[in-house]
Structures are given as structure tokens and as C-alpha cells.
Amino acid sequence: MDIALIGIGKIARDAHVPAIAASPDWDLAATVSRQGRVEGVQDYPDLDTLFAQRPDIRVVSLCLPPVPRFAYAVQALSAGRHVMLEKPPGATLAEVHALEALARAHRVSLFATWHSREAAGVAAAKSWLAGRALRSLRVVWKEDVRRWHPGQDWIWEPGGMGVFDPGINALSIVTEILPVPIHVSSAVLEVPENRQTPIAATLEFFHPAGAKVSAVFDWRHEGVQSWTIEAETDAGQMRLTKGGAHLSVDGVEGMDSADPTLDGEYPRLYAKFATLIQRGGSNVDLAPLRLVADAHVLGRRVAAAPFTW
């Protein structure tokens, strides 16, 4: 199938373009971007021009930031195109509910993606936790914002999510591997004095069986980056590292991936998207975004030092 990629920024170049190029299901037929380009692929100034000149392209993948993405998604779905959404699927829950209703009305597929769920160790971790009694689960997600989002001021604006931009990746894994739903019981959000979104956050969760579940997110971490989820159960300990790419159980090594952030994740997403379209279905799981929304509602805000690039 021909597909158009909307928004050619860092994540599109690093993950989407290579995944599409390597896929037997897709051909990158067009792009729409104000700045980025993909060599050898026709670029269009906007969706109206793309749809008018290329009515044969029935699928679009949106790699824009959350706030502007909604209008593009509405336009694409209203034009009868299947739509894939980069994470998070929207700036608000209500936006994504509206997109889901629009997709149903136009009988097209909508795919709200969570790339970290496709990391190499996640499926095995989910299988291992099933049937075991959880005692505790702790997320430690610490990275350097200057390394992963250099100069991207939109992440500090309302809707940009701040440290929850990577933090929601961890929450997408947690909500995938736990056999029962959890919800936020308390949160502390550290917000730089000169910014609108948090640079760090600490969350506590309610677990139906009383397990202690917590998460620490920090965007000020230099040196070795830390993306770890540790679980203790009645039948041993499990540890996911490298963003879910590496799994160990009771200290015994399991799956590993050479590239902890991209290897296999986006190819698997695009394969799932092709299957969704072929089956005429959608996949819009909002569990990770609900947890972030609840953290903002319940979170106690404390001032952090001003942030500058």
C-alpha cells in the first residue's frame, strides 16, 4: 500500500522512514512537511494538495507534535483516509475519542500507536507476570532532554507533555504487561519556573491487589540513560531495561536488542497497521494517556530551576 508521511522531524527520519522502507507492506509515496524532506519522495505543501493530486494514497501516518496533529487527523479521516498516530495519540483524551468516532463514521482504520510496547522484552514480560501475584513494581525513566529533543520548544508548551513525552512510553509498557488496571493515586510534578510542562515527576498508583506501584521520571539525567521497570512477585523478580528491549528474570538474562529505542518497534507497528486496514479495524488504547491526564489533575506542582537549552 502507498502511504504518506506527515511531519518529517527527528522521529520520522529515525524510525518511520526506515521502517516503511524495510516493510513488504508499504511504499512511502508522499510526504507533507514544512521543513523536512525525504530524498526521492514527492513532498506536498499541505493535505489538501496531497489529496487533490494523489487520490490513490489512502493511508497517512502522522508524526506531528500532539497539539497540531488533531486538525490533520480530522482532515485525513474526513477525507476517508486510514490514519496512524504517533504517540501520544492526542493532546487530550477528548480529542482522541472524537477521532475514534470520526473513523467509525467514515469506516476507516485509526491506529493509536505505542511504540515501546513493541520493544523486544515486553511480550515475554507480560507472559511471565500473568498468573503471578505482584508485590511491587517500580519504574525509573531518566534521560537527557537535550540529547533526545534538542531545541524542540514545543515540548515545554501546553500539550507538549514535558517529561511525560518519554514517561508515557514507560506507562504504555506498564499498562500492557500488568494483568489488571491501575490508576494514579498521587503525583508530584516539578515544573521549571520558565516553562509550562514538567521536567520531572514522581507518581504513585493504586493496584487492585495492594501491590506498591510507583514511577520516577526525570529529564535532567546526564550520562548513561535509564529506562527500567522492575517487578517483584510471589514467584521471583523481573527486570526490563533499555526501554523494554532487555528482559531478565531472577538475574537470568533473556531477550536483548542492539538498539533499545528503535530496533523492531516501528517495523512491528507498521505490520500491525497493515493488518488493521486489511481487517477493517481500529486500535485506540488510551490507558497510558489516561494515567498522564490523571497525574496532571492530581499532581502537586513544585517549582524547579529554569530550563535553558
Euclidean distance between CA atoms 93 and 151, whole angstroms = 27
CA distance readout (Å), 161 to 73, 128, 142: 19, 31, 15
Which among 10, 87, 242, 272 is annotated as catalytic?
87
Q: Is 212 a catalytic residue?
A: no
Q: Taking a C-beta distance cutoff of 8 angstroms, is the pair 213, 229 a contact? A: no
SS3 sequence, 156-198?
Answer: HCCCCCCCHHHHHHHHHHHHHHCCCCCEEEEEEEEEECCCCCC
Residue 45 burial (CB count, 10 A): 10
In the block, cell 481487517 appears at 279
Closest listed residue to residue 200, CA positions, set 218, 225, 226: 218
Cell readout for 127 is 507472559
Please tell me whether residue 32 adopts helix, strand or coil conformation: strand
Whole-angstrom CA distances from 277 to 127, 131, 138, 200, 282 are 27, 33, 36, 38, 8
Which positions are annotated as active-site residues? Answer: 87
